[in-house]
Amino acid sequence: MKKVNIILLALIVIAGMSCSGDNNKKQSKKVEGSFDKVYSVTGEEILNEEYNIAFFDFVDKYLLANLRNTDDYYFTLYETKTNKKVMGLFPHGKGPDEFSGGFSYQYCEKENGRLYVWILDYQKSLLYKTDITKSVEENKTVVDKVIKVGTKEGFYVDMDFYSVFYIDSTKLVGSTSNMSLKMKRFVIYNPVEGKFVKTVPPFPKVENNNDDVGFIWYRYNSLYLAGFKMKPDKTKFASAMSMFNRVDIFDVDGNVLNSYIDKDNITESLIKEFLAVKEENVKKVPVKNYYAGLYVTDSYIYALYHNKLSSDYKTSIPVQIRIFTWNAEPVCTVKVPDYLQYITIDEKNGILYGCAIIDEKIFKYDIKGIIDKISK
């Protein structure tokens, strides 16, 4: 994987804020435990001739790659057994059966033996249910359903989906992006009524008294960036945060069921410093990036754990995969020698795939022995 451009939005503007931790005790049911079981893996580099893969996801027997620096397709489908390209998906263009916008993979599911993937067009607020089985058969992108997931009447929007999951025709569940003026930890949207019907405020609670848009987007909202995934049976959701060292489990109605909160965590004084410091000094504030992403199955939550200073994001370091139960209970840690920014897992065959975006490499790891041990 070569020539990948990493675009980082600059943090801007400053203001005074206060942090309140009193309410945080009510917002989680803390789970005790530790990662006493530790395993290590080494991987092999794959797809090293591909230059434009940003990241990819395991979908049944395929790897669905999200592409950048290409004018042909937004996605490429690869067969996992051979790593060979199957086809391109979502061709660029504005004509019939072509697409323009900004697209991100959400999740996959099987219905009546057919494989579907849900793709979000975050620029147009559209959710596409794509029939992968039929697409492969016909060698073209076949969209089964399109759902409007909010409205964008201008550049600014109160709530904008980052992750979104289809529960039924009247209920979508997800999390908001940092480009939302009113960021939330959990939202429920009714596409029939065209409105958000429930929202969970950001927590741990940090008061914001600054209404500058740039400050909200790139400073305040960055506190609440989190990986957000749905359990395949659609009963629970996992949220692993970047700047707060915690994993939270929600039910389908947005109630917090359990939380694993690490002792090594951001402090109120550090939050105040991060929010009050001038832009040119932000990198000097020793805040950390804890969790960098998630992959989930019906059995486990696989959380990519960096635990490194935000200012050192370009420095390659070994990472860890923390494995949790759906009760937020620690299961084990898997040490990975490579600096991964994205993971996806074929749990049935015991394979971990990782994207080292900054180092421009893609890896494959054998974790079958680890899964067999923790599943006994």
Domain ranges of the chain: 22-374
Q: Report the 10 Å Cβ neighbour count for 172.
A: 22
Identify the pLDDT of residue 153.
64
Distances in whole angstroms, Cα of residue 212 to Cα of each of 13, 15, 129, 181 = 8, 9, 36, 10
Q: Which CATH superfamily is domain 22-374 in?
A: TolB, C-terminal domain (2.120.10.30)
pLDDT per residue as tens, the chain (376 positions):
544 443 333 322 223 333 333 344 455 578 877 899 999 999 999 998 887 888 899 999 999 999 877 779 999 999 999 999 999 999 999 898 899 988 999 999 999 999 999 999 988 999 999 999 999 999 999 999 999 998 666 667 888 899 999 999 999 999 999 999 999 999 999 999 999 999 999 999 999 888 899 999 999 999 999 999 999 999 999 999 999 999 999 999 999 999 999 999 999 999 999 999 888 888 899 999 999 999 999 999 999 999 999 999 889 999 999 999 999 999 999 999 999 999 999 999 999 999 999 888 999 999 999 999 999 8
Identify the pLDDT of residue 1.
52
Nearest to residue 291, comparing CAs of 307, 267, 302, 271?
307
Distance between CA 252 and CA 240 in Å, rounded?
17
Q: ∠ CA(158), CA(287), CA(227), 5° rounding?
A: 50
Identify the pLDDT of residue 209.
86
Question: What's the predicted TM-score (pTM) here?
Answer: 0.90
